[in-house]
Amino acid sequence: MPKSTEVLIGKYISNTVDATRLLYENNLFGHLLVLIYSSIDSMGLLDAEPSITSASGHTFKNWVKKYILVYPGLDFNDVDLWGARCAVLHTFTSQSDLSRKGDARQIQYFSGPKNSPMALAFVAATKDIDNGIHVSAHIEDTYLAFLDGLKNFYADLVNNCRNNPAYEIRLNNVLQHYSL
């Protein structure tokens, strides 16, 4: 694997970290979620078997299970996050086709100290509203889980590209528009 491939992967991930940090630091949480979800789409594709050529719910959920849900304290699952991704990217709301059918819970994000009385009341109320069709998620924990996932994914993607040229070929197709 050429050194340029490792640099390309590093640059993509550092650009993603920089962009999400700007949104997070400016409390632009809705837009932060858009970028997190679309980044997971891309990384799910890059992590999938090399024969896979398009991102999908399957590749998204696999990446989430492998890199996000290992973070402690998250109450949503991969299907909930896929539903949230569809909701935010398509309508900028928490309701998706999956949640309307009862196949995913709507994620209700909150920010700030998790142990504050207001946050604790929000978490409790979220569980009780509409017979459990909602799940609360701390935006900071979700963001930290994403950053932790990026760090772990970097090493795995570099290794995949080293061990199988098909990963590197797809990587260069997916990330071809990123200048170094």
The tens digit of pLDDT for each residue in 34-58 reads 999 999 999 999 999 999 999 999 9
21 in a structural domain? yes
Within-domain flag for 180: no
Task: Summarize pLDDT for 81-113 with one digit per residue, the tens.
Answer: 999 999 999 999 888 999 999 999 999 999 999
What whole-number percentage of the chain has pLDDT above 70?
A: 96
Q: What is the pLDDT of the chain when averaged over all its residues?
A: 93
**CB-side exposure of 176: number of CA atoms within 13 Å?**
5
Distances (CA, A) of 2 to 42, 48, 163, 165, 169: 21, 21, 12, 11, 12
Spell out a b/e string for 118-153, using b for 16 or more CB atoms within 10 Å of the CB, else e: ebeebbeebeeeeeeebbbbbbbbbbebbbebbeeb
Give Cα separations from 6 to 43, 141, 170, 172 (angstroms). Answer: 15, 28, 14, 11
| Range of the structural domain that residue 28 is part of | 3-174
Within-domain flag for 179: no
Answer yes or no: is 161 within a domain: yes
Res 179: pLDDT? 54
Task: Quote the pLDDT of residue 132.
Answer: 87
pLDDT value of residue 176:
66
Q: pTM of the prediction?
A: 0.92
Indicate if the pLDDT at residue 178 is higher than 60. Answer: no
Residue 113: the pLDDT is 95
Provide the pLDDT for residue 1: 56
Q: Structurally, how many domains does the chain consist of?
A: 1
User: What pLDDT does residue 97 have?
Assistant: 92
Q: How confident is the model at residue 173 (pLDDT cuts 50, 70, 90)?
A: confident
Taking alpha carbons only, the member of 22, 17, 18 closest to residue 43 is 17
